[in-house]
Structure 1
């Protein structure tokens, strides 16, 4: 049994994790511990507060006691606002506090883009434009060419957590461009685990989503690879057929 730990702020789309665990269908356990969210707002000050070391430290001991082998900070916006160096410092501090390998959703996106060998990506973010632009800057710092960025302007994670397949597909379609090798949908408040195959069929290319890449990153840290086509191209190398 491989146990992976995830620090998840608040309550929006945490039910993606048991769904993903079921879809993986292997001897892998995904343990989610909630960290305090404070004010739920897609504003710079509120997002930085969500990611404070004090808030992240809340769940670390619980994950350690649960036997987690690796921990991932499951918050996209709370892991890229400090830029490339700030994100590295955040992960180093988390690894030291947890006593195990650590990463974050923002780094998960960078590593997942490399895994699927995408060169150019389009970003469809529920965030306001200024926050979405910072995510694109983070990807560029990681060596990814961002050809399009689309922010939807959602004010809170709670709002994003109510979106269904239609809203997620609309976000992906609005962001997509013909020259993009993949479409990225950040924000761990976005429910996507049940929609990834449909998204990839409609767009005819890989779609990377926050909770999907976060789990994949935990597996990477634990040196585990699984084949789960229902979780999209990131979990399988079979070609995508557009419909």
Structure 2
């Protein structure tokens, strides 16, 4: 049978991705990639350390990155990206720039890190006031804020989960809850940190609700990596990727009179099907998440706005409860307010 008319597979251009050993969202990265681009992923060596500042330093050592990029050169990528937010901001701006230089030296192609891509995205959106959502512990979240402030950004609010493992299992409804809690004091943009936190489908929904650009770690990484090879990232109505989206809901001023609410406090390590876990509020007593048994939702208080279902695919709509945000609590100087008990 003559199959010469098929002409062979479509020519592909490559992006090399260095990811931490516990990275679990390969498929999410692919969703931002056009059909004529292939991703070539490699992972850093396993180390028996949970998500923390120590782990961020271990997976971002120059020798580790050098070996990973060398392995990727075998398939001739046009650019390489380090897909790890904490690993690329833990050393501050100087550390991030040194990492990028080390990768470029090893691969002899343009390189980008997630945290470097974050600053490029904020510049693209002309944003200086940033609300931050993370799955991290307080210390790692603090380090992200330090990195942003060093770059001249103002962090207007934050929300974090306090997780040290299983971050990829966090459902979209929890990401949305954190986003609503973090958006205080009129930020220009919301940033959802951590390449191991699922965000693809929730971005356009949050932009429509919050009326501001929403960017995430994986999104900015792929956007910046593809830009370096003259390609555009793809995604459904996301302000960073589509100038038309910036003239839609994401370009509008934030709705007035948002009820202020800042960061959720530390949580127990996340397990599949588990809620946030107990939070330690200011004052010493334990406050339960509203979805926990015995929490405020069991005593007549309204639940936090949430998605109707977790793990949405293909841009399904969010169905939020029509309930007010919980009132704010006093700030502790480092984490913001806790949800009420």
The alignment's TM-score, normalised by the length of structure 2, stands at 0.65
Residue 7 (structure 1) aligns with: 18
Q: Is the 8 A contact 1:12 1:190 kept in 2?
A: no
Structure 1 residue 137: deviation in Å? 1.5
Q: Is the 8 A contact 1:212 1:231 kept in 2?
A: no
Match of 1:76 among 70, 74, 85: 85
Structure 1 residue 16: deviation in Å? 0.8
- Higher RCO, Cα 8 Å, sep 6+: 1
Matches within 5 A, 1:148-163: 148-156=157-165, 159-163=166-170
| Cα deviation 1:180-206 (Å, max 9, x = unaligned) | 011001101101122221121222211
Residue 104 (structure 1) aligns with: 113
Q: Is the 8 A contact 1:196 1:232 kept in 2?
A: yes
Aligned to 2:204, what secondary structure does the other structure show?
A: helix
Residue 121 (structure 1) aligns with: 130
Q: Is the 8 A contact 1:74 1:105 kept in 2?
A: yes
Q: Is the 8 A contact 1:33 1:59 kept in 2?
A: yes
| Cα deviation 1:120-159 (Å, max 9, x = unaligned) | 1111111111211111111122232221232221112xx2
* Aligned-residue CA RMSD (Å): 1.9
Distance 1:115 1:62, change over 3 A: same
Bigger Rg, structure 1 or 2? 2
Matches within 5 A, 1:138-149: 138-149=147-158
Between 82-91 and 60-69, the greater mean CA deviation after superposition: 60-69
Structure 1 residue 105: deviation in Å? 0.2
Residue 30 (structure 2) aligns with: 18
Between 11-20 and 161-170, the greater mean CA deviation after superposition: 11-20
Moved beyond 6 Å, runs of 4+: none
Match of 1:179 among 176, 181, 186: 186
Structure 1: 5+ residue stretches without partners = none
The alignment's TM-score, normalised by the length of structure 1, stands at 0.90
Match of 2:240 among 212, 234, 238: 234
Between 95-104 and 217-226, the greater mean CA deviation after superposition: 217-226
Residue 190 (structure 1) aligns with: 197
Q: Is the 8 A contact 2:13 2:37 kept in 1?
A: yes
Aligned to 2:236, what secondary structure does the other structure show?
A: helix
Distance 1:205 1:193 in 2: 16
Residue 217 (structure 1) aligns with: 224
Distance 1:51 1:65 in 2: 21
Verify: 1:92 aligned to 2:105, yes or no.
no
Q: Is the 8 A contact 1:4 1:31 kept in 2?
A: yes
Distance 1:229 1:7, change over 3 A: closer
Q: Is the 8 A contact 2:158 2:181 kept in 1?
A: no
Structure 2: 5+ residue stretches without partners = 1-11, 251-317, 319-341
Distance 1:229 1:81 in 2: 29
| Cα deviation 1:84-119 (Å, max 9, x = unaligned) | 111111111111111111120001110001111122
Aligned to 2:232, what secondary structure does the other structure show?
A: coil
Aligned to 1:33, what secondary structure does the other structure show?
A: strand
